[in-house]
Homo-oligomer: A and B are copies of this chain.
Amino acid sequence: MQSFELNKTDILRLKQALEGDDEDLRALLLEYHATEIAILFSSLSQESRDRIISMLPSELASEVISEMDAEIHPERILENLHPERLSEIMEELDYDDATDILSQLSEDRQNEILSDLDDENARHIRNLLTYDEDTAGGLMNTQVLKINSRLAKTEALEEVIRQSEEMEEFYTINVVDDHNHLQGIVSLKDIIKSKNTVIVHDLIKEEFVYVKANTDQEEVARLISQYNLTSIPVVDDEMHLLGRITFDDVIDVMEEENTEDILKISGVSEDEELSGNWKEAVKSRLPWLVINLGTAFLAASVIRYFEPTISKLVLLSGYMTMIAGMGGNTATQALAVTIRRISLTDLTDNQAYRTILKEFTVGLINGACIGLIVLLFAIFYDKNPLMGLVIFISMTGNLVLAGIAGASIPLVLKRIGIDPAIASSIIITTFTDVFGFLLLLGLATRLLL
C-alpha cells in the first residue's frame, strides 16, 4: 500500500535477527524507519528493546524512542541506558518528547539526567516540566521558528533557512517584535513570492489562532481540528511566544481522549492502560463494580419488597429480566449519542431541551413497539392479557425513563462541570433496573393479585 510498512515477514525477519549477532541485527534494523522499529517494540521484551536502542545510531535511537507508544514505557529504556549514551540520546530528542518521557520518572532521576545535559537543553526541558501535561504548555515544543518583523525579504529567507536546519519540520513562521511578543504569522510561500523591497511586517497575517500555555489540551485539539491548522503558537499572558504545538501531537491527544471516552462510558477507569496487566485492570475496574454492586443491592431490595407478589406470580421473573434489560439498553443508546454529541459541540439551552425531548419520544415509540411484541406474547402464549397489559405499560414507561435519563444525566453533569462520560452505562443501567422493577411489580401487585 506504500513504500515502507511492517508486515508479517518483516516482523519474522527482525525477530530471527534478534537471535543472531549484533552486527547482522544492526544492519537489518537500519533498513527500517524509526516508526516501524517503534511498532516492532510492542511485541518485544524490555531486554530486546534495550539491546536494539543501544546499537542504533543515537539520532535513529531517539526517533524510535519518541515514536514509542507511551503504554510500552519508553522511560524504562532510558532507565537502563549507560549515562553517556543516555545524554547523547537526550540531546537528539525534541524538547517536548524528552519532557514527556522524563515526566514519567521520579524527580530525583529527572534531576540526575538533566544535570548531565548541556545547560541550554536542560533549561528548555526544566521549563517544560513545570507545565501540567494535559495543557498547551505540556504539549508544546519550545523549538519554534520565529523571525523579527523588521527583517527584509532576503534576511528573512536566510533566517528561516538557518533556523530550520535545527528543526525536523516547520509549518508556520511566527513573527515577533524586539521583545518576543507574537505579532502574527507568515508563510514561507508568501516570503518567496514577495517583492524584494518588502519587510516581514508587510506580509504578516494578523488574523491567526493562538493558545495560552494553560489552555486544556482538548481545547487545543478542537482549535487545530476546527481551523485546519498544521501548528498553533503558544504564548504566555503577555503574548510572549513560548512554543508551538503541531497537528501530529493533537492527533495523539485525540486518540487518547477517545480511548478515555470509550473506557469511561463502559465503566473502566480512564487511565487503565489498554495493554496493561491483570493487576492494573483489577485496580481500574473493581471499584466500579463495587459501586455498581451497591446499586444492584438497591434493585434487589425492590424485588425483595415485592417477594409476595413474585411468589404468587412466578411468571413475572422472566418478564422482569426483559424489562430491566431493554431499559438498560435504551439508556445506553441515548447515553452514547448524547455524550458523543456534547463532546463534539456545545449545546445551547434550547438544543439541550430538544435533545431530551427527542430521547423521550424515541423511548416512547421504541417502548411501545417492544412492549407490543411482549404483550402479544403474553396474550397468545401465556393466555394472560391483563398481565400483558401490565408488562406493556411497564416496558413503555421504563424505556421512556431510560431515554430521558440517558440524555439528561450527561447534559446536567456537563453543565455543573463534571465529565459527562462518568455517567457510564454501568450507573445508568441500575437506574433503569430499579425503576423497571418498581413499575412492573408495583403494577402487578395492584392489578393482578
A293 touches B337 (CB 8 A): no
The smallest C-beta distance from A153 to any residue of chain B, in angstroms, reads 13
Q: A263-B337, A425-B425 are in contact. List 19 more A-B contacts (CB 8 A).
A: A35-B227, A161-B193, A262-B262, A262-B265, A268-B333, A268-B336, A278-B362, A278-B365, A281-B358, A285-B330, A285-B333, A289-B366, A289-B370, A292-B325, A293-B373, A299-B322, A303-B317, A307-B317, A328-B429
Q: Does A54 contact B (CB under 8 A)?
A: no
A226 touches B348 (CB 8 A): no
The size class of the interface chain A forms with chain B is 35 or more
A161 touches B266 (CB 8 A): no
For A259, give the chain B residue with the smallest CB separation. B340
A263 touches B35 (CB 8 A): no
Looking at the complex, which one of B2, B212, B300, B366 makes contact with A286 (CB distance below 8 Å)?
A: B366
Q: Does A251 contact B (CB under 8 A)?
A: yes
The interface bits of chain A over 280-295 (1 if a CB of B lies within 8 angstroms of the residue's CB, else 0) are 0110011011101100
Which one of A18-26, A104-112, A308-316 is at the interface?
A308-316
Which one of A45-53, A78-86, A113-121, A202-210 is at the interface?
A202-210
A282 touches B209 (CB 8 A): no
Q: Does A56 contact B (CB under 8 A)?
A: no
The interface bits of chain A over 331-348 (1 if a CB of B lies within 8 angstroms of the residue's CB, else 0) are 011011101110011001
Please state the number of chain copies in the assembly. 2
Q: How far is the CA of A282 from the CA of B351 in the complex (A)?
A: 19
Given contact pairs A267-B329, A322-B297, A344 touches B274 in the complex (Cβ within 8 A): yes
Complex interface: chain B residues within 8 A of A262 (CB): 261-262, 265, 336, 339-340
Given contact pairs A211-B1, A332-B266, A251 touches B247 in the complex (Cβ within 8 A): yes
For A247, give the chain B residue with the smallest CB separation. B247
Q: Does A43 contact B (CB under 8 A)?
A: yes
A230 touches B304 (CB 8 A): no
A426 touches B274 (CB 8 A): no
Complex interface: chain B residues within 8 A of A208 (CB): 2-3
Q: How far is the CA of A35 from the CA of B228 in the complex (A)?
A: 10
For A350, give the chain B residue with the smallest CB separation. B43
Q: How far is the CA of A303 from the CA of B267 in the complex (A)?
A: 28
Complex interface: chain B residues within 8 A of A299 (CB): 321-322, 325
Complex interface: chain B residues within 8 A of A39 (CB): 226, 345
Complex interface: chain B residues within 8 A of A3 (CB): 206-210
Complex interface: chain B residues within 8 A of A254 (CB): 251, 254-255, 258
